Each structure stands twice: as C-alpha cells, then as structure tokens.
Chains A and B, each alone.
Chain A
Amino acid sequence: MFDLIGNLGLGFATALSPVNLLLAFVGCLVGTLIGVLPGIGPIATIAMLLPLTFKVDPTGALIMLAGIYYGAQYGGSTTAILVNIPGEATSVVTTLDGHAMAKKGQAGIALGIAAIGSFFAGTVATLVIAAIGAPLTKLALLFGPAEYFGLMVLGLGLAIVLARGSVLKAVIMVVFGLLLATVGQDLETGQERLTLGFDDLADGIDFAVLAMGVFGIAEILRNLESPETRNVVKGHIGRLLPSLADLRRSFGPIVRATGLGSALGILPGNGAVLAPFASYTLEKKLAKDPSRFGKGAIEGVAGPEAANNAGAQTAFIPLLTLGIPPNAVMALMVGAMTIHGVIPGPLVMTKSPSLFWGMIASMWIGNLMLLIINLPLIGLWVRLLKVPYRLLFIMILLFCCIGIYSINNNPSDVYFMAFFGLVGYVLIKLGLEAAPMLLGFVLGRLMEEKLRQALALSEGSFMTFVERPVSAALLLLALAIMVIAVLPTVRKGREEAFQE
C-alpha cells in the first residue's frame, strides 16, 4: 500500500513538471482534433501523430502519446454523438443514444456526461493499473517462453471470438497477420524471408505503415464510395453540464461500466472492444423502462463511454507488465516506445520507474485535461465537422503522407502505405475484417521467437506446452473459447449480440 502511494507520488512528480504538463495538453488537443475528423479512428490518428513526439525525451514522448490516445478516443465519441458516425468499433454504441440525445437538443449534455463518465472511469482505471501493475510484473518474470506463447495464443483466440462476422473469416485474418509478420530477416539466421527482393522489407513490414494503410487509407477509399450523408446536429448544442437528475441516473451505469471495462481491458486480445457493448446490454437489461434506449437515454451514453475509457486504459496493463500488446493501438505504442529506446515489458518498471509511473500518473492528468479542453471547445469541433468530406479527405491524406514519411524519412514507406491501403480496400470488399489481422501481425514475431525458444529448450517436443501447468491452462482456455464460439447455440447468440 505504501509502495503504491510512493510510486504514484513519484509518477505525479514526473507528470506534473511544466514541460510534461504541456506535452500532455498538446497531445490531448491534437489527438482530439484529428480524432474528431469523421472516419479516422484512434489507430490512424496515433500513426499520423507519432512523429510529433520524436524530438521529446522518452518520458515526455510517452506522456504525449498517452494524451494523443485519450484525445483520439474522446474525439471519436464527439463525432459519434454529433454526426452519428462512429470513428471506430468502440463508439458504435455511443451513436445509438448519443445521437438521439443530440437530435433532441441535448448534444451538450451527451458530450458532458461522456466526458464525466470517461473521467471517472479513467481515474479508477489508473488506480487499477497502479495497484496490479507491480504484482503482475513479478508474475511476468516467472513466465518462460512456453507460457508467453500460450498467453499469446489465448489473446489471438479472444480476438477471433470477439471479431464481427464469421469465425472462419476471423481465423483467416489472424493467420494472414501471422504470415505477414514472417516477412523480413529470420530471427536467428538473418536470412531474408518473403521480402520479394525489396531491401526496405529486410526489417519486416513497418507496423505503422500497415496500420495506416488498412485503417487510414482504406477508410478514405470506403468513404469516397458512399455519397455523403453527414447530418451534423444543427443549431444549439444546449448546456454542457448534466442536471443533478441526469447525474443521479448516470451514476450507477458509470460505476458498473467502469468495473466491466477495467476487467475486460486487461484481457489479451482486445477485450476492451467488448466493454461498451457489454455495458449497453447490461444497462438495458437493468433499466425499468428498456424502451427508452435508442431514443436518447442518458444511461446509454454514460455507461458505454465509461466502459470504453476504462478498457482503453487497462489495456496498457498487458503491455506494460508482460510486453504483450493486446490490440492495435497498443502495438503502435510498442513501436513508439521502441523508437525512444524503451522495450515494453516487465523490466520497464524496475529499470525506469519514473518513466513507468510518470506515464501512469499522466493518464489521470490526461483524463482531467480532456474534461477541461473539450467542454469549451465543442463549438470548434462542430464547425470542423461541417467541412465537406471532399476537402477533409485530401487534408487527411496529406497528413498521412507526411506522418508516415517522417517516421523513417523513407519514401518507400509512403509507397507501401498506398499498397496496404489498396489491400485494405480489397479486404473491405471481401468482407474480411482488418482488426484480427493486425493483432496477428503484432504478436507474430514475438510468438515465433517464443515458440522457437520453447521448442529449442524441449528439443522439439510439443509436450513442453502441456507439461507446464500455466501454459497448458492458457492453451486449454484458448481452445475452450474457440470451441464455444463455433457451437451452434452460442454462434446464434453471438450474431444477435453483434446485431444489437
């Protein structure tokens, strides 16, 4: 307990230095600015803004990145409420009641309760990270290659179960991601694999380039096809601060959603995606009058938004303690940390405590800043959302080009981004979802490394995965959720759940 307070004290001392405060502020601001643009989710936003952090020291850079991340998340909610366009999967639920509230002239209250719910969830999630970060790190140091491998298989299994659409297609995309991850030099012999003779692929496909292509560029191509139907809420946004009655009504949902989100966010394999859906379904079940949902019920905004934010934040736990990114956004964080010479994993906390705890403290500060920055700036976001898409997409495109070029100062990254944009377009047309592919890609290299280590230790016997209790349990769990997902009854329920 004293440890926790001391650690958080160190963290706040780091995060509250004027420079770091400024970085958190700038991060939140530009993150929201880009995140508000329709059709740009957090992944594309972070990939685009990565170069902003290059000139800063590692601690400052991570603080700024965390700010960009929260800004991007919150910007997505703003777009969901005001224009009914979800920036990413997790804000789909917010569009239901959030936009309905906006149509009733309560856009301000919807945005206000989203910010307040997010802030509460962020505060709790920060404490969760601080409290279980240290013990989990100790556990992680006991993990051998077999256990790491088992954990990542479980992560991929979860990602498959949580993907929308058919399980077979999700498996296909995960394997595609794993296959893409083998591109580049072999870990041990340094022999080039699947590089097609491109020197630029010797180090493998750059994650930011792949992510920007399949999420940023492909999204532009998709949006260009459908004629614009953007109904930015006209006229008044209304007051921002919810009334006491609103707050009383939202309190329960926010607390429950924070618990749900915090728990789901810790799971490897992007459990956070599920959190807003789970919260919405739960609140609808608990409500005295479920028919209000979908017509502007404040609980339907407060709960999912809090769940989203809690999950977004506890998703840092697998990354910071085990070095395993649970989703694509966290994978970008790995990339950003590596650029600054920080290798995410159990050693970060012991080797550079001020960086680790400073980042955790800045998460809370970032949440507070979102509350302060966004409420007064909503008028500006509304105006930004009224810019027609034919102008927006060319600006987005230019930002993508400059952002990707600046990561390595290499024009070939820009070409590869165009290529993966087209790949992403083909995937959209074939109904194949890019998110599981990205997770497969993210975990691919690490999985190969751990698999080879484990099998080298066991001299080629797969029994090592079964004989070690922890890895056996993890693999069994992965198998179990996969089997459950394809069982006919659950399959039907799953389809219904996604339809909602």
Chain B
Amino acid sequence: MAPNETNSSRSPTAIWLRQDFVGGLVVIAVALFAFWQAADLPIGTLGGMGPGMLPKSLAVLFGLLGAALVLDSFLETSLPLEPWSIRGPVLVALAIVAFGLTVRPLGLVVAGPLAIVIAAFASDEVHWVETIVVGVLMTAVCVGLFKFALGLPIPLAPWLIGY
C-alpha cells in the first residue's frame, strides 16, 4: 500500500484511501497467504481429488476476485476508508485473551472480574468503583448460573477450593 504509486489526485478520495482498493489488496494478500500455506498439498485429479485441490483453486479464485475489487475501485466511486480505532479492539481482545489465560489455572472467580476490568477500559468512560462492583456481581451470577444451576465443568477457583 505504498502511497506514492498513483497520481489520481482529481478524484475526491485518493485511491489508497478508498475502502474497496484497500479491501481488494487485503483479499489478495489473504489469497496469497492461503496459496502459500497449501503449496505442499497434492492436487490429485478431478476424479480423485487430493487435499490441495480445493484450497488451491479457492485461493486462486479469491485472489482474482480481490484483483477485480481493486480494479473496480478505480472505476467506480468507492467509499473512503473510515477512521479505525485502536483502543476498543486492542482492549477487548486483551480482555478475552486474559480470560482464556486465567480461566484454567485461576478459575472463573479470577478470570471473570479480570476480563471485565480490562474490557471496561475499551469504553471512553471508565468508572472504577462501578466496574469492580459489576465485575464481582456478574461473576457471582455466572458462577451461580453456569456452575451450580447448569453444572458446566468450568473451573471456579482451583487454587483455593480445588475445582
């Protein structure tokens, strides 16, 4: 996506800022990656397809469609890219990963409030007391619901009570 490869300054949106141009490039990149990953898989014949036949042909098709989208973005008026936020996606992903990392060794009583506190920072307005209260209450509700009412085998607090 080098910004110096075009000179279409007459259009309202510069080409590398158009949604479909960037989208098409992303599609091509994913297609190349998939084809590279499938490179070692044998194709076989039409009558006896090998494991690589479909992944490879779909990757080629996907890449061609991506190229079509790139071409289309030159011809038709495409929407400009919207601004991307960093805070929300990063913190929400972090909260989920924190839950996954802690749920087995430390149990739901730690993973629940931890995920909630991290996720709360994804929003523009953070209220410490409120967040902690909600975190503890929600975890208690989930423990009651999923562990006791439904009997799901999710660990509660293995370090404290052994399960």
Contact = CB atoms under 8 A, between A and B. Distances in A.
Interface in A97-134: none
A139 to B, nearest CB: 28
B84 A402 contact: no
Contact of B34 (A54, A179, A224, A429): A179
Nearest to B135: A394
A394 B58 CA distance: 38
Nearest to B146: A402
A interface majority secondary structure: helix
Contacts of B96: 217, 397, 400-401, 414-415, 417-418, 421
Interface string B24-57: 0011001000100110010001111111101100
Contact of B89 (A221, A409, A415, A462): A221
Interface residues of A, number: 66
A394 B46 CA distance: 50
Interface string B144-162: 0010001111100000000
A338 interface: no
Interface in B66-93: 66, 68-69, 72, 79, 81-82, 84-85, 88-89, 92-93
A440 B89 CA distance: 26
Contacts of A182: 54-55, 58
A456 B53 CA distance: 14
Interface in B89-109: 89, 92-93, 95-97, 99-101, 103-104, 108
A172 B54 contact: no
Nearest to B93: A418
B47 A460 contact: yes
A391 B130 contact: yes
Give the residue among B55, B58, B96, B130 with the most A Cβ atoms within 10 A.
Answer: B96
Contacts of B48: 456, 460
Given A168-B65, A430-B19, A448 B138 contact: no
B84 A429 contact: yes
A172 B45 contact: no
A405 to B, nearest CB: 6
A459 B48 CA distance: 8
Contacts of B22: 430
B127 to A, nearest CB: 8
A89 interface: no
A142 interface: no
Nearest to B84: A429
Given A179-B55, A429-B81, A459 B47 contact: yes
A458 B55 CA distance: 22
B146 A189 contact: no
Interface in A394-440: 394-395, 397-402, 405-406, 409, 411-412, 414-415, 417-419, 421-422, 425-426, 429-432
Contact of A412 (B23, B30, B100): B100
Which of A193, A431, A458 has most B Cβ within 10 Å?
A193
B20 A431 contact: yes
A349 to B, nearest CB: 30
B15 interface: no
Contacts of B45: 460
B13 interface: no
Contacts of B131: 394
A406 B152 contact: yes
A393 B112 CA distance: 14
A51 B142 CA distance: 13
Contacts of B19: 429-431
Contact of A217 (B66, B92, B139): B92
Contacts of A400: 96
B116 A394 contact: yes
A190 B21 CA distance: 38
Contacts of A418: 92-93, 96-97, 100
B16 interface: no
Given A172-B27, A175-B58, A176-B62, 13 more contacts: A169-B69, A172-B62, A172-B65, A182-B54, A391-B134, A393-B119, A394-B119, A402-B154, A409-B154, A411-B103, A430-B26, A452-B49, A460-B45
The 10 A-B residue pairs with the shortest CB-CB distance, nearest first, are: A460-B47, A460-B46, A186-B51, A414-B100, A430-B23, A418-B96, A224-B88, A411-B100, A390-B123, A401-B99
25 contacts: A55-B152, A169-B23, A175-B61, A175-B62, A193-B51, A220-B92, A221-B92, A224-B123, A390-B120, A393-B123, A395-B116, A398-B115, A398-B138, A399-B142, A401-B115, A405-B154, A406-B154, A411-B100, A411-B101, A415-B96, A418-B92, A419-B93, A448-B54, A451-B49, A462-B46
